[in-house]
Structure 1
Amino acid sequence: MATSNPVVRYLESRKNLTGSACGIAGLALSFTGAAGSLWPLIVVALYAAGALIAPPERTPPPPFPNAEEQLDALRSDFVTLRGYLAEIELPEGAAGRLAELDTLVDALLEPGWVSDPEHLHVLARAVRQDIPEAVDTFVRTRWWSRVAPGAVPPERHLERQLAALHEEAGQIAAALQDAEAIRQEAHTRYLEERGKS
């Protein structure tokens, strides 16, 4: 664990440890008599040489959350989104589209399915941005369409948006299905070939 105290950090550094090891070698030389009366200068010089040749400290990369941690946070956000959507009154067509999308996203967020970073990104964008924005825009536009009727009904736009999001999530589901089919086929081949040997 890294400390914030610069003195302690230097004492634990590679430069200090390498320099100290070289300085101890200089002390060993002085005890054998090889250093003579200049032994303090030799110890300091060896410490400095060791500190100079030591490899620099490597800063570790930041601990970003792994796929499972990202998925846990996304599941929590999905629960929050569901709470928001439960309070919104939608027309029957849009409510049906939203229910289909909800079922699909819920299935994709089950543990053990989505681990690809691109798929996680698409789902996170849908849950945290696209779905709430589509519904909120519908609610705001619906209010204005009551005041100024005659435009394209906002329900149509919402249904199209939800259909596009469903198609995007469906592509993830299809990719997962293909991956599982390939995995099953590979396992079948493995078992058949193992039985022949």
Structure 2
Amino acid sequence: MAISRYLESRKNIAGSACGLAGLVLTFTGVAGPYWPVVVAGLYGAGALIAPPERPSLPGFPGSSAQLDALRGDFEKLGGYLEEVDLPPAAAGRLTELTDLLTALLDPGWVTEVLAQDPEGVHTLSRAVRQDLPEAVDSFVRTRWWTRMTPGSEPPERHLERQLALLQEEAEELAAALRETEARRQESHTRYLEDRGRVN
């Protein structure tokens, strides 16, 4: 295995090319009786000057594959959120947010545009896998403690604010994707106008 890998390596190819040059020198009479040394020396020189082998890059999943995995995680999150009892105001905000996230993750042209925006994929991933579960879970835990210490600030206020901030972030992402498509449309219009002028 190691031998076959070396035979296909850049060092062997470069060394062989230089060794062939040594054979040409031998047949033209330049190398003389020392031709084995010349051929071996040129092979060694070629192997030394060849660029080192570059290891293959690891195959990380692309944005499309990340979105597929994120879609699965969002479904799991949906199952968790259905089990949580939230106050009406927070439940309403959560519904608005999850509807928007569902639209952004829905397979189709939206996710095709989103797949071209790694920062957008990261923002969506962070909201689904970290921020939203943490907001709801911290509310559930804090609400339990609040029942033991009446008179403290209601935890639903923090939850409502957190959900509002997450929705703002998701709306900004949706607006950026819409802007990307608008620029694409404008660019196509300019292209057609320029083509019409040339003709």
Common fold: TM-score over 0.5: yes
CA–CA distance in 1 between the matches of 2:121 and 2:164? 19
Call closer, same or farther: CA 1:18–1:188 in 2, change over 3 Å. Answer: closer
Q: Which runs of 5+ in 1 are unaligned?
A: none
Paired residues for 1:96-175 under 5 Å: 96-110=92-106, 111-114=111-114, 115-175=116-176
1:65 pairs with one of 61, 78, 82: 61
Bigger shift: 7-16 or 84-93? 7-16
Bigger shift: 128-137 or 32-41? 32-41
Q: Aligned-pair distance for 1:190?
A: 4.4
Call closer, same or farther: CA 1:27–1:77 in 2, change over 3 Å. Answer: same
1:11 pairs with one of 7, 21, 24: 7
**Deviations 1:73-118 (CA, angstroms, capped at 9, x unpaired):** 2112111111211221212111111110001011112332313111
Instruction: State the partner residue of 1:86.
Output: 82
Letter matched to residue 88 of structure 1: V
CA–CA distance in 2 between the matches of 1:157 and 1:126? 16
1:21 pairs with one of 17, 20, 37: 17
Instruction: State the partner residue of 1:75.
Output: 71
2:31 pairs with one of 24, 28, 35: 35
Q: Aligned-pair distance for 1:72?
A: 1.4
Instruction: State the partner residue of 2:43.
Output: 47
Q: Which runs of 5+ in 2 are unaligned?
A: none
Task: Provide runs of 4+ in structure 1 moved above 6 Å.
Answer: none
Percent of aligned pairs with the same amino acid: 64
CA–CA distance in 2 between the matches of 1:134 and 1:83? 16
Instruction: Provide the secondary structure at the position in 1 that maps to 2:69.
Output: helix
Bigger shift: 108-117 or 128-137? 108-117
Count, aligned residues: 193
**TM-score (ref. length: structure 2):** 0.85
Bigger shift: 14-23 or 29-38? 29-38
Q: Aligned-pair distance for 1:21?
A: 2.0
CA–CA distance in 2 between the matches of 1:194 and 1:20? 53
